[in-house]
Each structure stands twice: as structure tokens, then as C-alpha cells.
Amino acid sequence: MRLGHFDALKPICPACRINGQQEALRIEEVLLEEGGHILQARILCAACFREFPVIDGIPILLPDVRGYIQQNALALLMRQDLGAPLRSLVGDCLGPTGPYEQARLYLSSYADEHWGDLEPGSSLCVGSVQRVMGVGLELAGPVSGPRLDLGCSLGRTTFLSASQTEDLCLGVDLNFSMLSTAGRILRGGEVAYDRRRLGIVYDPVRFGVTMPGAERVDFWLADAATPPFADGSFSVVSSLNLIDCLPSPAGHPEVLAQLLRPGGRAILCTPFDWAPHATAIEGWLGGHSQRGPDRGASEPVLRNLLIQAGFSTVALHDRVPWSIRLHARSSMSYEVELWVGERA
Ligand SMILES: C[S@@+](CC[C@H](N)C(=O)[O-])C[C@H]1O[C@@H](n2cnc3c(N)ncnc32)[C@H](O)[C@@H]1O
């Protein structure tokens, strides 16, 4: 976590925010700092006295920190020092089911998609998300002020945004493993992850990158549904392939509008890939009830919500390719709807 981002973005307590209060957070205790990054610290809300840890440079700013730590202990306490043969051995022992393999697979797919194209000699067909973000940023145009990348995963799109502005850029996600990998890229310029070949066979990948504008980037762990920011904190908010991962997608346009300053731009894309493990069917925007007025379509439902939230459409691209590599012989392809809007 960079002090400059904390001071400029002035995060508020996400728990108090739920009760309609905007209480500033303060850094209570710094335990470890390196090269301008706070790696371990305690952040405090002076109103409700909740504590928020900074672990491996990632501040965890959630209303229910205790619940998150209980459910994500494996990722939070994962050792970084094991060599590739031992990681492989541990993976073999744990087998193909369970949280370790789930996390490893998810990280491999998104690390490839975000960073695989920069590996020297890479022949992977990856990088579609930065192409989508590139189109979105171009359509959004030059807007000055801080930028927020919600559901940033391994952060390539946050870096892309930073390369096109002089303002601060913040990537926010709920996945600690992804954010800590992004944080290591930010601090050391080294991309390191295990790439899935097949089954539970993974090959270590390691290479250096230089990202223009990296000094303006930071990564925080926060929930897109309860972001720890005062209203109107950002000039650009991106939400790429996130809305169909949220438990309550209908509330997302309203959150985007709250985060943006008047005249700010939102960039949203989605494949409308509804899945019950992420969103109960009652929360889906379309994708069911094909006998209803929208015949089960998702697109008009989302657009109505965006209008209700106070957005006007700047641009809409119906089918933009986006894909995710699963292993050496498999990837999933989507055509996402990309929408750019302006907050009234
Ligand atoms: C389908 S992935 C898309 C990642 C990235 N934006 C991209 O397009 O490559 C969805 C991302 O959203 C994150 N996510 C899911 N629910 C979230 C929430 N409530 N708040 C913040 N991030 C969330 C996931 O951890 C994951 O990184």
C-alpha cells in the first residue's frame, strides 16, 4: 500500500459506510515498510474501532474482516518461499479438489490473461482483457482525476489505465492471491506464477516487466458492493467482467454512480455469464423468465438500471471478444458487451 494513495483517496470505514456514515480511516501502526510501500500495518476506524490489516502490502478494507480472514486463511497465510518442485508436490498431495487447487487454477488463468503476452517469446493467445480496457478507455476519453478499477484481478488493466493518465489509479479486488501477485509485480517488476499445463501439472513462470505509470498504481482488497470511499471520489471507474460475479448485480450501477464525480465516466463490460455459485437466480439481470417482457435478455435490464442510476450512454459495443486460458489445450471464449457511460 502506498501512503500517497491512502492520503489522497482518504478511504472511509466500509462498515460505517453501510450505516450511512463516512468515517475516515487512519493508519494506526506500521509494522513493515519497504521501498515506499507499507507491507504490514494496522488501519483503524476511530468511530467504530474496527481494525483493518495490511498484509503483504494489501490493505483489507472490508466491513467483515473477521469473516474474510476466517474464509481465506489459506490464501492469506500461503507460503511464498517454496520452490517449484515442492509446490508441485504439495499440489499432488492435495489433489484436484479443494481450495488450494481452485485458487491455483484461477490464478493461473487470470495471470496468463493479464501478463502472459509479456513473457519473452510468448506464443499464448492471451491479452484480450487489456484490449477491452483499451477500447473502453479510448471511448471514455481524457478525464482528469483518480481512477478506480473494480475487480482488477492481477491488475494489468489498472497499469494500462495508469499509462494513460497523470492521476492515481487504484485496483480493487476480493481475491487476496491475485492482489498479492499484482502487488509483487508493482513493487519488484517481476511476474511470477504457476501456469497450468494440464490436470494438476503446473509450470513455473517468471519474467521481468517495466510498466509505465506504475508509480501511480496501488492495489487494495475491498468489496465492490461496499467500496471504502466517499461519494464522488473518482473520475473514471472501470468494472470489467465483474457484475455477473456479484451477489447483487442490480445494485452495481448505483455504486458506480456514487463513486463517480459528476461528469465522470464508467467503463463496464460483461459476458452476462450468470452462475448460481456467484449470484442466486433471483439476483440475475435477465437470464431467466423468457416469457417476460424482456424475453430473458440481460442487456435491456442492465441498461435500464444504468439509466436509473443517472448515467447517459457514451458508447456501446455489443460483441467484444474476451477469453480466458484454462490449460495448454483449452480456453473459454466470450463476447462481452462493453458500455461506457457518463454520470450526470
Ligand atoms: C471474471 S473476473 C474478471 C477479472 C478482470 N476484471 C478481467 O476482466 O480479467 C472477476 C473478478 O472480480 C473479482 N470479484 C468478485 N467479486 C468481487 C467483489 N464483490 N468485489 C471486488 N472484486 C470482486 C474476482 O476476484 C475476480 O478477480
81-343: in CATH 3.40.50.150: yes
- Convert the pLDDT of each residue in 163-189 to its tens digit: 999 999 999 999 999 999 999 999 999
- Convert the pLDDT of each residue in 32-42 to its tens digit: 999 999 999 99
Which among 112, 113, 158, 242 is the best mutation to test ligand 1's pocket, defined by most ligand atoms within 8 Å of the CB?
A: 242
**77: exposed, middle or buried (Cβ count in 10 Å: 0-12, 13-18, 19+):** exposed
**How far apart are alpha carbons 59 and 180 in whole angstroms?**
10
Does the pLDDT at position 80 exceed 90? no
- Convert the pLDDT of each residue in 264-280 to its tens digit: 999 999 999 999 999 99
213-219 mean pLDDT = 98
175 CA distance to ligand 1 centroid (A)? Answer: 8
Which among 132, 148, 158, 245 is the best mutation to test ligand 1's pocket, defined by most ligand atoms within 8 Å of the CB?
A: 245
User: If you take atom 15 of ligand 1, which residue's CA is the nearest one?
Assistant: 245
- Convert the pLDDT of each residue in 1-17 to its tens digit: 999 999 999 999 999 99
Residue 34's pLDDT is 97
Q: What percent of the chain has pLDDT over 90?
A: 98
Cβ neighbours for 203, distance < 8 A, ≥ 6 positions apart: 194, 195, 197
Cβ neighbours for 253, distance < 8 A, ≥ 6 positions apart: 302, 305, 306, 308, 309, 311
Work out the pLDDT band at 319, boundaries 50, 70, 90. Answer: very high
Q: Name the nearest CA neighbour of 174 among 58, 276, 277, 254.
A: 58
72-89 mean pLDDT = 94
Residue 191's pLDDT is 98
Pocket of ligand 1 contains residue 223 by CB under 6 Å:
yes
230 CA distance to ligand 1 centroid (A)? Answer: 21
241 CA distance to ligand 1 centroid (A)? Answer: 7
Pocket of ligand 1 contains residue 238 by CB under 6 Å:
no
The atom number, within ligand 1, closest to the CA of 153 reads 27
Please state whether beta strands 330-343 and 311-327 pair in parallel, antiparallel, or not at all (unpaired). antiparallel
- Convert the pLDDT of each residue in 226-239 to its tens digit: 999 999 999 999 99
**209: exposed, middle or buried (Cβ count in 10 Å: 0-12, 13-18, 19+):** middle
Q: What is the DSSP letter of 24?
A: B
Among all chains, which residue has been given the C-alpha cell 513462470?
Answer: 205
Which among 137, 153, 246 is the best mutation to test ligand 1's pocket, defined by most ligand atoms within 8 Å of the CB?
A: 153
**How far apart are alpha carbons 208 and 198 in whole angstroms?**
25
- Judge whether 233 and 16 are in contact, CB under 8 Å: no
Collapsed DSSP state (helix, strand, coil) of residue 306: helix
**How far apart are alpha carbons 61 and 67 in whole angstroms?**
12
69-88 mean pLDDT = 94
Cβ neighbours for 212, distance < 8 A, ≥ 6 positions apart: 162, 163
Q: Mean pLDDT for the chain?
A: 97
148 CA distance to ligand 1 centroid (A)? Answer: 13
210-231 mean pLDDT = 98
242 CA distance to ligand 1 centroid (A)? Answer: 5
- Strands (DSSP E) contained in the chain are 25-34, 37-45, 51-55, 58-59, 147-150, 169-173, 190-198, 201-208, 217-221, 234-240, 260-270, 311-327, 330-343
